[in-house]
Homo-oligomer: A and B are copies of this chain.
Amino acid sequence: MRPSGRAPDQMRPITIEPNFTRHAEGAVLIGFGDTKVLVTASVEEKVPPFLRGKGEGWVTAEYGMLPRATHTRGSREAAKGKQSGRTQEIQRLIGRSLRIVTDLKLLGERQITLDCDVIQADGGTRTAAISGAWVALRLAVNKLMADGKLAQDPIRQKVAAVSCGIYEGTPVLDLDYPEDSSCHADGNFVLLENGHIAEVQATAEGATYDEEELLRLLRLARIGCTDIFAAQARAIA
């Protein structure tokens, strides 16, 4: 039934390649099938103005898509002179999702920026970005601890994200582009390894949905995130 032939509760292959580039404190190329996102974690020993002198750190994210990551070329945001509403919405979501698993007091007065750049897009770029960002953050924090800059681990939990939607009447896990562009409802779920929820964004597209469908999407998301948590564990092993 699905264009890819996957079962409704089947993720695409998850690939996580740590240390894909060498300058960043943490770097990972994450793939959910043909969706490929390069995430780097950059540590800076300063915090944004609103946090100065408060003894707390900050975790933030920026998101971008290479102009030809998509089927047809999109214009370059740097050339247009501004980031789209979609870009800003996504990078705010990524930042929130990583902050919720980080103890900012334990991090100390430093900032970690997660740059998520989509190299190739096939649906689910924001959820792949969040899932990869956790690995990049983990690698960067490991380095801070190995360098003796952090005594205690500020990361409390694993976090992962996946999109689910109702495609031709059936709730399915991990939408790819053909599904994403024609599904009736589309949810992004950000979950913690302990089962808690960090964020649900479930949007009707074309048709609204009911409470039962919301719960079925959430259950699919739990299945997918279990796979992602395992892949994250392998990547940092």
- When the two chains form the complex, which single residue of B36, B76, B200 contacts A64, counting CB atoms closer than 8 Å? B76
- Given the contacts A66-B117, A68-B115, A82 and B85 also touching, CB distance less than 8 Å: no
**Hey, which chain B residues are within 8 Å of A81, CB to CB?**
81-82
Structural contact, B198 and A201, CB atoms closer than 8 A? no
Is A225 in the interface zone, CB < 8 Å from B?
no
A88-108 contacts to B (CB < 8 Å): 88-89, 91-92, 96, 100
Cα separation A183 to B19 with both chains bound (whole Å): 30
Is A1 in the interface zone, CB < 8 Å from B?
no
Shortest beta-carbon distance, A79 to chain B, in Å?
A: 6
A157-195 contacts to B (CB < 8 Å): 187, 192, 195
**Hey, which chain B residues are within 8 Å of A117, CB to CB?**
66
Is A135 in the interface zone, CB < 8 Å from B?
no
Measured as residues with beta carbon below 8 angstroms from the partner, the interface class of chain A is 35 or more
Structural contact, B87 and A68, CB atoms closer than 8 A? no
Cα separation A49 to B75 with both chains bound (whole Å): 16
Shortest beta-carbon distance, A55 to chain B, in Å?
A: 17
Structural contact, A23 and B92, CB atoms closer than 8 A? no
**Hey, which chain B residues are within 8 Å of A209, CB to CB?**
196-197
Shortest beta-carbon distance, A174 to chain B, in Å?
A: 19
Structural contact, B208 and A218, CB atoms closer than 8 A? no
- When the two chains form the complex, which single residue of B22, B72, B89, B198 contacts A85, counting CB atoms closer than 8 Å? B89
**Hey, which chain B residues are within 8 Å of A113, CB to CB?**
67, 73
- The stretch that binds B, out of A7-15, A37-45, A123-131, is A37-45
Is A237 in the interface zone, CB < 8 Å from B?
no
3 shortest A-B CB distances, which residue pairs?
A: A85-B88, A77-B78, A196-B208
